[in-house]
């Protein structure tokens, strides 16, 4: 099947091979960098299918440029807040994502951040490398125990659940805030509580909700003020869930003890003052970044795109009602 496909940036080879086998030749951004919005509009013009990334803002203008022949925007991510799904649906364009395959990898990273913040490992590494370390000291880099602490999981979907289940070996008490009870978390003694109660009681608060209008700035100055001064916030979900300017103030003023961030409100830029703080560990959006997981995501995105071009319902469609708009 020859189809007019565009890939907005190089993804792992397994996905490109899959596309090639099913669709023959396709075009891809030759540069390993994000396309500007104007370049994205030009690149997708008249395409039948686009494989895009969370760094591509797929808005009305981009969808309009793709035009009436376009069947699908296959996102190489589980989150799809970068895409105007309602606008895509109106145009009969399917949107797909890559759920499931990155759950465990992202849950691992949330714990990596949690430990890094709790035990101040990045600060310690920086100090050691500076050449100023003059040996063991009784009061140096004192952190917080993870073992026996209270873990607050905001959003008990796939990733939140995987994060909470990892806590068993650390004998942490699990609180979770979620619209529905979660049987897996209840089975390990997790307790479903309100967000306010979770924020007041937890030693570590970890965010796992999708970004939408209901979760934008879910954690702002008011919520940070509810947290214990010894507590740490972990965000591996989406940056705008946290009011990052308010977080800088809370970290600077000691309202909370620390934060571990993998995502930012205006990626790739940090909020002013954030990177000057020692009590925050900042990663460059690495949640799903293992070779195996990114390869699985690439194959999954390619499979979604291929199915849509075949006129089939893709395995991971976000807006199946777009099929009706087309019919
Ligand atoms: C990564 O952030 C994703 O949504 O897959």
Confidence of residue 38 (pLDDT cuts 50, 70, 90): very high
* Pocket perturbation via mutation, ligand 1, pick of 52, 53, 54 by most ligand atoms within 8 A of CB: 54
Atom number, ligand 1, closest to the C-alpha of residue 76: 5
List the domain range (segments joined by +) for residue 129: 103-282
Rounded to an integer, the average pLDDT of 95-115 is: 98
Ligand 1 atom nearest to CA at 285: 2
Q: Is 152 helix (H, G, I), strand (E, B) or coil?
A: strand
Which residues participate in catalysis according to the annotation?
Answer: 238, 267, 285
Instruction: Using alpha carbons, list the distances in angstroms from residue 25 to 5, 9, 22, 71.
Output: 8, 15, 9, 18
d(CA 235, ligand 1 centre) in Å: 12
| Residue 109 shares a structural domain with residue 96 | no
Give the CB-side neighbour count of residue 252, counting CA atoms within 13 A: 13
For the residues 166-191, what does the mean pLDDT come to? 98
Tell me, yes or no, whether 36 and 170 share the same domain. Answer: no
23 and 56 co-located in one domain: yes
Residues 124 and 244 in one domain: yes
∠ at Cα 93 (87, 97), nearest 5°? Answer: 95
* Ligand 1 atom closest to Cα of residue 98: 5
- Nearest CA owner, ligand 1 atom 1: 77
Residue nearest atom 5 in ligand 1 by C-alpha distance: 77
Nearest to 153 by CA among 241, 242, 233, 264: 233
Tell me, yes or no, whether 28 and 174 share the same domain.
no
Domain containing residue 76: CATH number = 3.40.50.720
Q: Are residues 77 and 223 part of one domain?
A: no
* Of 47, 97, 93, 41, nearest in space to 71 by CA: 93
For residue 268, whether the previous peptide bond is cis, meaning omega lies within 30 degrees of 0, is yes
Residue 1 has a pLDDT of 63
Give the chain's domain count: 2
Taking the centre of ligand 1 as the mean of its atom positions, its distance from the CA of residue 47, in whole angstroms, is 24
Burial of 38 (0-12, 13-18, 19+ CB in 10 A): exposed
Q: Please tell me the distance between residue 135's alpha carbon and the centre of ligand 1 in angstroms.
A: 41
Q: Residue 25's pLDDT is what?
A: 94
Q: What is the pLDDT of residues 16-36, one digit of tens each?
A: 999 999 999 999 999 999 999
Q: Among residues 244, 296, 236, which one has the least CA distance to residue 114?
A: 236
Mean pLDDT, range 53-77, rounded to an integer: 98
Among the candidates 265, 282, 299, a domain finishes at 282
Within 6 Å (CB) of ligand 1, which residues are found? 54, 77-79, 102, 287-288
Give yes or no for residue 205 having a pLDDT over 80: yes
Q: What is the DSSP letter of 257?
A: S
**Distance of CA 262 from the midpoint of ligand 1 (Å):** 11
Residues 93 and 227 both lie in one domain:
no
Q: Is 253 exposed, middle or buried (0-12, 13-18, 19+ CB in 10 A)?
A: exposed
Q: How many CB atoms lie within 10 A of CB 136?
A: 6
Phi, psi at 90, each rounded to 5° = -60, -30
> pLDDT, tens digit, for every residue of 263-292?
999 999 999 999 999 999 999 999 999 999
Shared-domain flag, residues 156 and 62:
no
| 141 and 84 both lie in a single domain | no
Q: Are residues 116 and 230 in the same domain?
A: yes
Q: In this structure, how many other beta carbons lie within 10 angstroms of the beta carbon of residue 313?
A: 14
pLDDT score, position 154? 99
The protein residue whose alpha carbon is closest to atom 3 in ligand 1 is: 77
Among residues of the chain, what percentage have pLDDT more than 90? 98
14 shares its domain with 136: no
Q: Are 144 and 257 in contact (CB under 8 A)?
A: yes
On the CB side of 305, how many CA atoms lie within 13 Å of its CA? 32
Ligand 1, residue 297: give the atom nearest the CA.
5
Whether residue 326 is predicted with pLDDT greater than 80 in this model: the reply is no
With a cut of 70, say whether residue 2 has pLDDT above it. no
Mutate to test the pocket of ligand 1, among 51, 95, 102 (most ligand atoms within 8 A of CB): 102
Judged against a pLDDT cut of 80, whether residue 327 lies above it is answered with no
Q: Are residues 54 and 81 in the same domain?
A: yes
Q: Report residue 87's pLDDT band, with 50, 70 and 90 as the boundaries.
A: very high
Tens of pLDDT, residues 220-230:
999 999 999 99
Residue 241 has pLDDT above 90, yes or no: yes
């Amino acid at each position: 099947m020859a189809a007019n496909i565009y890939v907005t940036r190089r993804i792992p080879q397994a996905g490109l091979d899959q596309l090639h086998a099913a669709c023959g030749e396709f075009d891809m951004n030759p540069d390993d960098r994000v396309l500007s919005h104007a370049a994205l509009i030009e690149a997708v013009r008249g395409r039948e299918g686009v494989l895009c990334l969370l760094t591509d803002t797929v808005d009305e203008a981009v969808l309009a440029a793709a035009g009436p022949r376009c069947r699908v925007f296959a996102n190489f991510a589980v989150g799809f807040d970068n895409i105007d799904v309602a606008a895509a649906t109106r145009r009969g364009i399917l949107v797909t994502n890559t759920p499931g395959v990155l759950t465990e990898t992202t849950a691992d990273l949330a714990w990596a951040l949690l430990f890094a913040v709790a035990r101040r490992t990045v600060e310690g590494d920086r100090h050691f490398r500076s050449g100023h370390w003059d040996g063991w000291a009784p009061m140096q880099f004192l952190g917080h125990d993870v073992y026996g602490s209270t873990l607050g999981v905001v959003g008990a979907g796939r990733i939140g659940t995987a994060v909470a289940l990892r806590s068993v070996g650390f004998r942490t008490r699990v609180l979770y805030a979620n619209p529905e009870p979660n049987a897996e978390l209840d089975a390990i003694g997790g307790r479903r509580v309100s967000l306010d109660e979770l924020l007041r009681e937890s030693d570590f608060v970890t965010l796992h909700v999708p970004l939408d209008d209901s979760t934008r700035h879910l954690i702002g100055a008011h919520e940070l003020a509810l947290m214990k001064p010894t507590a740490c916030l972990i965000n591996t979900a989406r940056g705008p869930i946290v009011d990052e300017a308010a977080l800088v103030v809370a970290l600077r003023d000691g309202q909370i003890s620390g934060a571990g961030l993998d995502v930012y409100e205006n990626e790739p830029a940090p909020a002013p003052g954030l990177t000057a703080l020692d009590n925050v560990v900042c990663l460059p959006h690495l949640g799903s970044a293992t070779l195996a997981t990114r390869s699985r995501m690439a194959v999954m995105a390619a499979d979604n795109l291929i199915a849509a071009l075949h006129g089939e319902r893709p395995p991971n469609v976000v807006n199946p009602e777009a099929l009706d708009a087309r019919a």
